Structure 1
Amino acid sequence: MSVESPSGRLPGLIPAALLLLLLITSCASGPTENVDREADAANKASVDEVVLPIDAYEFTNEQISQTEHAREVLISSCMRRFGFQVSHASGPAQDSRPVEELALDLGVHGNQRRYGVVDLAIASRYGYHLKSVAGTDNRRTRSTRDPGAANPDEFAVLTGATKDGREQLRYNHRPVPTGGCVGFATREIAGDGGLGEADLVSRIAAESYERSLVDPEVVAGFAKWVACMKAKGYDYASPRDAGIGFDIDSIPVTPRETAAAETDVACKQQTNLIDIWHGFEANYQNAQIARHLPELRKVQSARDAQMKRVADIIANQP
């Protein structure tokens, strides 16, 4: 199980294709929780949460979920102006991972599996599985309808372009917003900035992780972890490879898997690997924050302003 992204978290908000999938699908997968319950779930993130300095400038998973919901509200309203009777969900987007799963699996900021499994209690119960997979009660059914099957006119108004790529300027004698209703909703929420994580924030988060992998102290820590695991009968080339060979996409979690995960965590504790690894990243990020502080303060202000717009949209939804 190698690490594909530094945080394990989706880098931005749901793409237009998923919004289309959401809006053209009439049946939800089940009742959705309100924003208060979402915030409560996010606040109850697992004890194995990893906190890094750049988190202060990121969107939390709960904020991402709220932003997706607000964008659904605006898209639905825009589409109705063109005569398309689509409805938005009463909570997080059904075709994105609900905030409860994100907080459960990845933590408030998405860092929970940044260094793999780091908590012995989690290893003993879930092995290398994400909690939402190991606990089937937390899983939700996703729609599998093909967005390409949507009504061509609906698709054009939603996206601002026909299916063959031509720009849709008008529909029923009314001008279509640039980028369609998706573009309109994005601009209403993002204001003068971009929607989702600022490039600078994402870059610092990614760079600190990538540079940690070649830091001499971290590399030495990796070697000690490998030796510790080998002494206990596990042959992994790196902590990032821990869990390879186990089917982590289905249940049950086997005793063999939990034993490996427990040994993994024990070796991380024995070699002090997480403190070393996290220490490098924290130092690197703090240095970058100090270097870019004026820019990051603007990022923080823009994020807060965006979330104020999101709250207003949700509060005033039809």
Structure 2
Amino acid sequence: MKSFAPARLLSIVCTGTAAGILLLTGCSASGHEKSHTLTGDRESDSAKPSKDSPHVDPDPKIVNPLPSLRLPIQNYMESDELRHQASLAVTKLATACLESGGLHFRPGPSSYQEPPSLMAGRYGPVNLQQAKYGYHFMTAIQDVKAARVQPSKSELSRVNTCFSSAESTIPEPGQGDVINKIKDDGWVQAMSLPAVQASFLQWSKCMAAAGYDYSTPQAVMQEKSWDWKSDKPSAREISVATRDVTCKEESGTVEAWFSGESSLEKKAIGLHRQELDKTSAQLKAKATVVSDILSG
């Protein structure tokens, strides 16, 4: 397991991205990443998957711990399914380009892996599967690697050109700044709502009953004694995270926080309806292009 400094870990916890802005809210609106750039780090013309990068399916209890919760702003964000289909479309176009150029390299199956959901760490650990990693729980997901096939160095430049051309064919939605601001502001502002503060108070009392002095769930995430340089959490960290989960359940913290965020987001969405309607149209256009590529 890799180690991460707090800022890096917290940005990962939010949605599996590294854009980190505010604690657990530094998430990309689209989640789109150009993941097809290859390095050509093997000399062989008959590239093979790396033996030290096995594919491991992440635990759904960690990557998608709250599947029934969906924030209003997610209606304007690219779905995991569309990202997956877009990845397949890019691979298909790039393969055709390679074939037409007489290159021997073939990318093989898409290496797309579903990223952690928006709720994967938005409220800290929420179940025992996450808590067994303490507050390092998202680092386990980041260590999962899919086997990658690399081109020979003699083909590298032309292979990357094919992938770049394929990616440019698929339109990307805009308004990411508006979406991120609504999502981030809602998370922060909800903490000031009376119902959320009341749940935090009950959570804090529950933690104190077990000997842990924290005022809010985000305060425990920022605990300075957690060793972010270590590959594994300490026994105390796991114990605190486990109690954290129990106290969230008893205090209704997740429900209150999510409800507060949702109400704030709905108001913000109403103020940015024109921009967000444009995003919806762009997502539909992308889905159409992807579908045409895969069915063609």
TM-score, normalization by structure 2: 0.68
Q: How do 1:30-179 and structure 2 match up within 5 A?
A: 46=64, 48-49=66-67, 50-93=69-112, 98-99=113-114, 102=115, 106-107=116-117, 110-119=118-127, 121-123=128-130, 127-128=134-135, 130=137, 133=140, 139-140=144-145, 150-151=153-154, 154-155=156-157, 157=158
Return closer, same or farther for 1:199/1:282 CA change in 2, 3 Å cut-off: same
Separation in 2, partners of 1:186, 1:197: 19
Q: CA 1:89–1:254 in 2, change beyond 3 Å: closer, same or farther?
A: farther
SS where residue 20 of structure 1 aligns? coil
Partner of 2:277: 297
Give CA-to-partner distance per residue, 1:233-269, whole Å, 9 cap, x none: 2244642243652679856x87655432221022223
Mapped pair 1:309 → 2:292: no
Contact kept, 8 Å, 1:6 with 1:209, in 2: the verdict is no
Equivalent-residue separation in structure 1 for 2:75 and 2:290 (angstroms): 19
Measure the CA separation in 2 of the matches of 1:303 and 1:28. Answer: 33
CA contact (8 A) 1:117 1:128 kept: yes
Q: Secondary structure at the match of 1:21?
A: coil
Equivalent residues of 1:13, 1:196 under 8 A apart: no
- 1:115 is displaced (CA, Å) by 0.6
Partner of 2:16: 9
> Does the 8 Å CA contact 2:65/2:126 hold for their aligned counterparts?
no
CA contact (8 A) 1:84 1:154 kept: no
**C-alpha displacement at 1:222, in angstroms?**
4.2
Matched residue SS, 1:91: coil
DSSP-derived class of the 2:239 partner: helix
Gaps of at least 5 residues in structure 2 are 1-5, 18-27
1:249–1:65: structure 2 CA closer, same or farther, 3 Å change rule?
Answer: farther
Matching residue of 1:186? 167
The percentage of aligned residue pairs carrying the same residue is: 23
Deviation of the 1:68 alpha carbon? 2.2
Give the structure 2 partner of residue 208 of structure 1: 186
Q: Secondary structure at the match of 2:37?
A: helix
Q: Is 1:242 aligned to residue 220 of structure 2?
A: yes
Question: Can you list the C-alpha shifts for 1:54-86, whole angstroms capped at 9, x where unaligned?
Answer: 111112223223222322322333344444333
1:235–1:81 CA distance, 2 compared to 1 (3 A): farther
Distance 1:132 1:297 in 2: 35
Shift of 1:53: 0.6
Per-residue CA distance 1:276-303 (angstroms, 9 max, x = gap): 3222211111012222223323322321
Q: Report the aligned-residue RMSD.
A: 4.3
Q: Which amino acid in structure 2 is aligned with residue 284 of structure 1?
A: L
**How many Å separate the matches in 2 of 1:208 and 1:303?**
23
CA contact (8 A) 1:189 1:195 kept: no
Where 1:69 maps in the other structure, the secondary structure is helix
Work out the CA distance in 1 between the residues paired with 2:253 and 2:174.
32
Ranges in structure 1 where 5+ consecutive residues have no aligned partner: 160-179
